[in-house]
A and B are shown apart, each in its own frame.
Chain A
Amino acid sequence: MLRYLKLYRSFIKNCLIREMEFRLNFFIRTIIYFVWASLAYAGIFIIYSHVNTIGNWDKEEMLLLVTVAGFANTIHKATLYPNVNEIPRYIREGKMDFVLSMPVDARFLVSTRYFKFEQIPRLLVYLLLLIKFTFDVNPHTNITTAILPLILILIGVFGMYCLLFTISCIVFWKPRIWNLFAIINEIENLADRPSDIFRGLLWFVVNLLPIAAFATIPTKFLLGEGNINLFFSSVLVVSVVFILSQMIWKWGLKRYESASS
């Protein structure tokens, strides 16, 4: 365990050095992230100037939901997403050979190699907004009541990572597909919307895949509407997706043929 922590620390250090080499890039990318984030809020203000609620969610609750989704998304984009996004390239270009020959767990290596420091400013802004909007809708929030939603956000991020990891493994069977990130991004965007507005088949998709666990369930806890069933449903769904992702990863690895040799 300690060895893996040391390895992760050295990956982070390496990424920091790399990102500092391209400071202008870092700066402009940060601006673009802020513009994207502002658009989500502008959209809510425009929509709610015409409607009162969307599926029983009023403007303040929706602002909190979008902030939770943004916060979770930023954690994901800083830590696990850039790695999952690279998996198709590893397989297509035969770089998986290198990964498999290392004396560490291959899934750990492909999931932790990159860390995006460019997400840190956005994360801090989302954290401040999260505190503001939480107190707007639930003034009685304190450290104790905020811990559980924060844990749920981390569980949701891990669940989303497992889902995207599973989708990325499609490349073991279809190595020519390089644009799976498009599906991945759209699935993440689904989390910006309250999971209870979906009906029928879509309700099952959103709740059985960890999309509701990503933002809606932690938001319900911040609103004071959480309960033990919701908590365990989140943990259960994420656990199932993790086991599934591990099975598909192992299955895919058996199928893997190096593209470089």
Chain B
Amino acid sequence: MRKTITILKTSLMEIFAEKEILLIWSLAEGIGLISVMVAWLASDQAVIGGYTKSELVSYYFIIYLFTQIIGWWVFWDVREAIMSGKLSNYLLKPFSFIRYLFIHEFSYKVINMVTNIVVGIIIMIAIKDYLVISIDPATILKLIPAILIGIGINFLTHFSFACVTFFWTESHFMADFHWIASMVLSGSMIPLSLFPKVLEKIIYLNPFRFTFSLPAELLFGKITGQEYISGLLVGSFWVLFFGFLSLIMWKVGLRKYSSFGS
């Protein structure tokens, strides 16, 4: 526990020193968010893919919030550690690299929350006439496991994709592939209900749906209780799958890993 607290303190201080950088990330996301909302509001249909215009605006706002909470993206940290040889330092320390990574990312989320609250409030004021979110305690309880599954899938897919660096130094392309897949299949770009019916099965079973779309669908009452339970089960399967994949990639990768002079 003492080790965890020490890592947490150090990480919080490190990340706090980069508060201006966090603000830039939040601002950039805010600009993107507003432009998407404006485009949907300018459409000629009142209901689109089962969402009213107000619901669509609220949907993107919720996705923005979920991105801040669920978006545990560790690809670049893992890649940098392997590429630069700094991983050797972590391997010699009395705690695992994955534990460090998890706590570091948690600290990032905590500090980032402050900048996101500022940007989030500005956006909320701008879209106050369209916000239609009603949250009851039962929904909040249901959201917790969905959010934890989302964090698990994001963290583990990023980790396993980054472990490709052990075998291929040009692995930064894996981040692009992850980003593209996540954008399209998680409901960040377009709500999944807008996709053609022929793709329904692939869209609803893909791992990225359980990062942002499932909690959003739950919040907007777009899924039944049974669909929620099956969503949690399939999401948990993906967490286990990517956990297992990460473990294998990490173990095989470490055998191949070598660093010099660090």
A residues adjacent to B (C-beta < 8 A):
24-25, 28-29, 32, 35-36, 39, 42-43, 46-47, 49-55, 174, 176-180, 182-183, 185-187, 189-190, 193-194, 197-199, 202
Q: Please name the residue on chain A nearest to B44 by beta carbon.
A: A53
CB pair B190–A182 under 8 Å, yes or no, is no
CB pair A174–B28 under 8 Å, yes or no, is no
Q: Please name the residue on chain B nearest to A193 by beta carbon.
A: B39
Q: Please name the residue on chain B nearest to A183 by beta carbon.
A: B28
Enumerate chain B residues within 8 angstroms of A174, measured Cβ to Cβ. Answer: 20
Question: Which stretch (B29-37, B104-112, B131-139) binds chain A?
Answer: B29-37
CB pair B35–A193 under 8 Å, yes or no, is yes
Distance of A7 Cα from B35 Cα, bound (Å): 40
Given contacts A46-B196, A53-B44, A189-B35, contact A28 B24 (CB under 8 A): no
Distance of A193 Cα from B48 Cα, bound (Å): 19
Q: Please name the residue on chain B nearest to A202 by beta carbon.
A: B38
Q: Tell me the smallest distance from the CB of A193 to a CB of chain B, in Å.
A: 5
Given contacts A24-B170, A39-B184, A50-B48, contact A183 B38 (CB under 8 A): no
User: Among B24, B38, B41, B44, which residue has its beta carbon within 8 angstroms of that of A177?
Assistant: B24
Is B189 an interface residue when CB atoms closer than 8 A count as contact?
yes
6 contacts between A and B (CB under 8 A): A46-B190, A47-B43, A49-B194, A177-B24, A186-B29, A190-B31
How many residue-residue contacts, CB under 8 A, span A and B?
88
Enumerate chain B residues within 8 angstroms of A187, measured Cβ to Cβ. Answer: 31
Interface size class on chain B is: 20 to 34
Is B80 an interface residue when CB atoms closer than 8 A count as contact?
no
CB pair A182–B25 under 8 Å, yes or no, is yes
Q: Tell me the smallest distance from the CB of A158 to a CB of chain B, in Å.
A: 22
Distance of A64 Cα from B76 Cα, bound (Å): 36
Q: Tell me the smallest distance from the CB of A169 to a CB of chain B, in Å.
A: 15
Enumerate chain A residues within 8 angstroms of B176, measured Cβ to Cβ. Answer: 32
B residues adjacent to A (C-beta < 8 A):
18, 20-21, 24-25, 27-29, 31-32, 34-35, 38-39, 41-45, 48-49, 170, 173, 176-177, 180, 183-184, 189-190, 194-196
Distance of A23 Cα from B31 Cα, bound (Å): 35
CB pair B49–A197 under 8 Å, yes or no, is no
CB pair B194–A51 under 8 Å, yes or no, is no
Q: Which of B21, B29, B42 has the most CB of A within 10 A?
A: B42
Enumerate chain A residues within 8 angstroms of B177, measured Cβ to Cβ. Answer: 32
Q: Please name the residue on chain B nearest to A29 by beta carbon.
A: B173
Enumerate chain A residues within 8 angstroms of B49, measured Cβ to Cβ. Answer: 50
Given contacts A54-B39, A197-B39, contact A177 B28 (CB under 8 A): no
Given contacts A43-B190, A53-B43, A197-B38, contact A179 B180 (CB under 8 A): no
Q: List 17 other contacts, CB 8 Å, given A32-B173, A39-B180, A46-B196.
A: A28-B170, A32-B177, A32-B180, A46-B190, A46-B195, A51-B43, A51-B44, A51-B45, A54-B39, A177-B24, A179-B25, A179-B28, A182-B24, A182-B25, A183-B24, A187-B31, A190-B35
Enumerate chain B residues within 8 angstroms of A35, measured Cβ to Cβ. Answer: 180
Enumerate chain B residues within 8 angstroms of A54, measured Cβ to Cβ. Answer: 39, 42-44
Distance of A178 Cα from B48 Cα, bound (Å): 39
Shortest 4 CB-CB distances between A and B: which pairs?
Answer: A55-B42, A182-B28, A197-B42, A186-B31
Q: Tell me the smallest distance from the CB of B206 to a CB of chain A, in Å.
A: 15
Enumerate chain A residues within 8 angstroms of B173, measured Cβ to Cβ. Answer: 28-29, 32
Distance of A154 Cα from B73 Cα, bound (Å): 37
Q: Tell me the smallest distance from the CB of B236 to a CB of chain A, in Å.
A: 29
Enumerate chain A residues within 8 angstroms of B42, measured Cβ to Cβ. Answer: 54-55, 194, 197
Q: Please name the residue on chain A nearest to B27 by beta carbon.
A: A183
Given contacts A176-B20, A190-B31, A202-B34, contact A47 B190 (CB under 8 A): yes
Distance of A110 Cα from B166 Cα, bound (Å): 35
User: Among A55, A178, A190, which residue has its beta carbon within 8 angstroms of that of B21?
Assistant: A178
Enumerate chain A residues within 8 angstroms of B44, measured Cβ to Cβ. Answer: 51-54
Q: Please name the residue on chain B nearest to A184 by beta carbon.
A: B28
CB pair B21–A177 under 8 Å, yes or no, is yes
User: Among B20, B38, B190, which residue has its beta carbon within 8 angstroms of that of A198?
Assistant: B38
Q: Please name the residue on chain B nearest to A22 by beta carbon.
A: B170
User: Among B18, B32, B45, which residue has its beta carbon within 8 angstroms of that of A189?
Assistant: B32
CB pair B21–A46 under 8 Å, yes or no, is no
Q: Which of B41, B43, B173, B194 has the most CB of A within 10 A?
A: B43
Enumerate chain B residues within 8 angstroms of A39, measured Cβ to Cβ. Answer: 180, 183-184, 189
Distance of A53 Cα from B48 Cα, bound (Å): 12
Distance of A180 Cα from B195 Cα, bound (Å): 33
Enumerate chain A residues within 8 angstroms of B34, measured Cβ to Cβ. Answer: 202
User: Among A185, A193, A199, which residue has its beta carbon within 8 angstroms of that of B28?
Assistant: A185
Distance of A35 Cα from B25 Cα, bound (Å): 24
CB pair B170–A180 under 8 Å, yes or no, is no
